[in-house]
Chain A
């Protein structure tokens, strides 16, 4: 109890930013544990971590979390512990973890030579997380408290339950409070007293935490086997489980639909550029995949240019990719495609050659290795609706982004004069020319637009998959399938095509496995085209015949 109050006290002090500058003997406790931290044995390190956590020092949280983050180093010779932070790329500031005084600044090479990181393994990581969770249960930040409680639920032991029993009544946030009560109930459900057990089980009914489900399953088998158990317990467990599993299977379906939509959005982003260059202009554009690739590489370059503001890099990358690939598209159109109008099959040949050249170009410039594109913080992780349903942020953003691109494009085609000219040229080139439209110019811009959109798709893909020379090849076949399935020349067709293929794929995958699902989807496309020879949204009238 005394320890708890102390913990509460120092957390408040520490987190409110007031530096408890006095070097109490708790700091010297930490100091003495440092020697063990530089040991090679993980068992020694565990001992050190335990004693730091129990030192009660205000620096414990900082030290433990810096071990976790991999920022704590020791001098190879004198074994002094230091905190290392990267200030600018390849330059590091070295500070003392207890006094927080600057010791020196070092380059990457010097750092590697003189200092060594305190290495940890998963066991230690688990231990650190557990200790940190207990230390931060009174944190001022609500999300920290929530995270800590969630961590504690995973690994309940008598001392942490004790901690939570104290914290729960004082908790003001309902969400955290509820979670704390779940923790307590989970512990109570194992109690010896059937009354307490019964109450806890009823409280847990319908709770979606996997830990709760595991517990209930466990209790169920225990009660089914034993005759000594209280007769009221088994039905209570049963009904609690039923309530839970019903909800879980419902959320599973919701999750599946989301997976389908997000796969559909990826397909849409990959294919929508092709819907312009191939669908509207009739160029069998085999270099489309390489436009995706260029967009992804643009993201990489943008991130290299602004290493300190990765969070915003995507907002720069999207227009940059549009411009880069758009210009590349215009260059391709003016340099090659314009000589090939009326010979669509020859465009296949030329653009295929071009795709080989672009791939090798990227290989020569950026090396054949994949490049690492960093996912900004706001796009990582997942949004937890409830413990049974969490949707990943990057997928959600991509769904939204795909829709934005689609609607933006529709607006451009339907509502602007450029869109009007573009449609005029593709429908009847000669007539458009006669009306004074500069058809060559419109062609170049249209191809540039399609390529630019592909570049934007590439930015999105860079957040999901490898950025390497083979990126384009992985998507080109799928893109053609989507466009043709939806109906050439129709953006809505591309949209529905992508979504239907995505959802079909995701609903078949659990039943048939990923490979077979894909084969079935392909057969489905073949049969569909056989039934509807012009895709889902066939163009009607005279335009369809040309």
Chain B
């Protein structure tokens, strides 16, 4: 036995779910590329491109859900505007991809994207400068959502806005962003958003190789994001954050400046959501203001609740399950899929109050398995 275990193993050892989660991610990272590239098309185990982009999309949602779980499950802030950060990250990436089109747009303009040409822009707006460089775009992917979260959080936490009030103003935030991005003279392509991307870092976005690479990146991002969140949660900071969630007043009375801790976690979560958005855009090929719609953000909350809040991997699981259900039922039962999905939400709330993960744990508990995977510090009454 090693005396000193690597950092990552320490993050995982207390939690069995985490181990499975990481194992599944690793398996996906290997299996999907192999099934897509190496297995012949005639085989039943061949994974079509459709499947690769689909699972890739789910993975970006999973990362988004993990980041949301960090603020909701551990910090106790129900953000109904998490889509704002996701969308901003997506737009930053979309702007880079737009600039990559160069003079291959329909009007053949060397600099301006197509929508600017026909809206009569004479030159590139200042906020589009720099996005032709990947490093700059990548920086913006985390910086813009982070900055927004910082300003917003600083305002809100300092004046101790809590509970539903906080939830509703996060909703107002994403709603305002949606309306703003819908405006055509805002310089982001209005309702159509950004689309018709050609390549990323010089690689053709439509080649199978690029798709697989993006897929692996997404899986990697989910894993790293997961480790980051785990690290935060298991650190001293994490204990403090959970203490804030459970009794903010007492933490404050002990002399902690709780708003700084909240702000830190909130900003980290926003940045992760931004990364998820950035990975989402090249895989689905479009980003538009619909991503900011309040309903979208509510759906994200539902993924987390469905999977099991306060477990991180549960959130990821919820994101995948809900979206898989959506994909599956919109194809199989287009007329009634909303009944099924809606019924699922109601059913889960009533019968699985702690989500799928909670239910599994309960079953395992009944089967006598070890109980060390309980929700960390989750107060039962909340």
- A residues adjacent to B (C-beta < 8 A): 278, 284, 286, 336, 339-340, 342-346, 348-350, 352-357, 359-361, 364, 473, 477, 480-481, 484, 488, 515-516, 518-519, 522-523, 525-527, 529-531, 533-535
Jot down 13 A-B pairs with beta carbons below 8 A, ordered by A: A346-B353, A349-B345, A349-B349, A350-B346, A350-B349, A360-B339, A360-B342, A364-B336, A515-B183, A518-B179, A519-B179, A529-B161, A535-B165
Interface size on B (CB < 8 Å)? 46
| Contact of A353 with B343 in the complex, beta carbons under 8 Å | yes
Q: Which listed residue (A345, A354, A534) contacts B346, Cβ 8 A?
A: A354
Q: Is the CB of A352 within 8 A of B159?
A: no
User: Beyond A339-B350, A350-B345, A484-B165, is A477–B179 a contact (Cβ under 8 Å)?
Assistant: no
Q: How far is the CA of A86 from the CA of B250 in the complex (A)?
A: 74
Q: Which of B330-377 contact A (CB under 8 A)?
A: 335-336, 338-339, 341-350, 353
**With A348-B301, A488-B164, A533-B159 in contact, do A357 and B169 touch (Cβ < 8 Å)?**
no
CB of B349 within 8 A of CB of A340, answer: yes
- Pairwise interchain contact A352-B338, C-beta atoms closer than 8 A: no
CB B37 to nearest CB in A, in angstroms, measures: 38
B342 A354 Cβ-Cβ under 8 A: yes
Tell me the minimal C-beta distance from A461 to chain B in angstroms. Answer: 19
Contact B179 A359 (CB under 8 A): no
Instruction: Known contacts A343-B353, A346-B305; decide if A477 and B346 are in contact (CB<8 Å).
Output: no
Q: Is B284 positioned at the interface, with any CB of A under 8 Å from its CB?
A: no
Q: Which residues of B contact A527 (CB under 8 A)?
A: 155
Decide: B342 and A353 in contact? CB cutoff 8 A: yes
Query: Which residues on the B side are within 8 Å of A352 (C-beta)?
Result: 298, 302, 342, 345
Enumerate the 7 nearest inter-chain pairs by beta-carbon distance, A residue then B residue, closest first. A353-B345, A356-B342, A357-B342, A360-B338, A522-B176, A350-B349, A484-B168
B175 within 8 A of partner (CB)? yes
B341 touches A353 (CB 8 A): yes
Please give, as numbers and ranges, the residues of chain A lying within 8 Å of B349 by CB-CB distance: 336, 340, 346, 349-350, 353
Q: A515-B179, A519-B179 are in contact. Are A526 and B165 (CB under 8 A)?
A: no
- Chain A residues closer than 8 Å to B335, beta-carbon distance: 364
Question: Is B173 part of the contact surface with A, judged by Cβ < 8 Å?
Answer: yes
Q: Which residues of B contact A364 (CB under 8 A)?
A: 335-336
Partner of A336, one of B152, B338, B344, B350: B350
CB distance from B187 to the nearest CB of A (A): 14
- In contact, A360 and B162 (Cβ under 8 angstroms): no
Check if B168 sits within 8 Å of A531, measured CB to CB.
no
- Contact between B172 and A345, CB atoms less than 8 A apart: no
- Nearest residue in A to B167 (C-beta to C-beta)? A284
Residues of B close to A484: CB separation below 8 A: 164-165, 168-169
Secondary structure at chain B's binding surface: helix, strand, loop or mixed?
helix
Partner of A345, one of B78, B159, B160: B78
Closest B residue to A478 using CB positions: B175
B111 interface residue per 8 A CB criterion: no
Say whether B342 contacts A355, CB under 8 Å: yes
* Chain B 297-340 interface 0/1 with A at a Cβ cutoff of 8 Å (1 = within): 01001100110000000000000000000000000000110110
Tell me the minimal C-beta distance from B333 to chain A in angstroms: 11
Q: How far is the CB of A70 from chain B (nearest CB, A)?
A: 38
B171 CB contact (under 8 Å) in A359, A477, A518, A534: A477
Inter-chain contact B159/A349, CB cutoff 8 Å: no
Q: Are A529 and B342 touching (Cβ within 8 A)?
A: no
Please tell me if the beta carbons of B350 and A356 are within 8 angstroms of each other in the complex: no
Q: Do B182 and A515 touch across chains, with their CB atoms under 8 A apart?
A: yes
Q: How far is the CA of A278 from the CA of B345 in the complex (A)?
A: 19
For B302, the chain A residues whose CB sits under 8 A away are: 349, 352-353
Chain B residue at minimum C-beta to C-beta distance from A530: B155
Q: State whether A533 touches B175 (Cβ < 8 A).
A: no
Is B117 close to A, CB under 8 A? no
User: How far is the CB of A331 from the nearest CB of chain B, in Å?
Assistant: 13
Considering the complex, give the chain A residue whose CB is closest to the CB of B350: A339
Contacts of A477 in B (CB 8 A): 171, 175, 294
A529 pairs with B381, CB closer than 8 A: no
Is there contact, CB below 8 Å, between A286 and B298? yes
Q: Which of A353, A519, A535 has the most CB of B within 10 A?
A: A353
Partner of B305, one of A349, A525, A529: A349
Report the Cα distance A286→B294, complex, angstroms. 12
Cα separation A533 to B248 with both chains bound (whole Å): 16
> Nearest B residue to A360 by beta-carbon distance?
B338
Whether the Cβ atoms of A357 and B346 lie closer than 8 Å is yes
Taking CB atoms, residues of chain B closer than 8 Å to A516 are 183
Residues from chain A with Cβ under 8 Å of B78 in the complex: 345, 348
Residue in A closest to B182 when the chains form the complex, CB atoms: A515
Question: How many Å lie between the Cα of A105 and that of B154 in the bound state?
Answer: 75
Closest to A282 in B: B164
The verdict on A533 contacting B162 (CB below 8 Å), with A346-B353, A356-B342, A525-B169 known, is: yes
List the A side residues contacting B348 at CB < 8 Å.
Answer: 349
Asked whether any CB of chain A lies closer than 8 Å to the CB of B147, the reply is no
For residue B156, CB closer than 8 A to chain A, the reply is yes
Whether a CB of chain A sits under 8 angstroms from the CB of B295 is yes
Residues of B near A480 (CB, < 8 A) are 168, 171
- When distances are taken between beta carbons in the complex, the residues of chain A under 8 Å from B165 are 484, 488, 529, 533-535
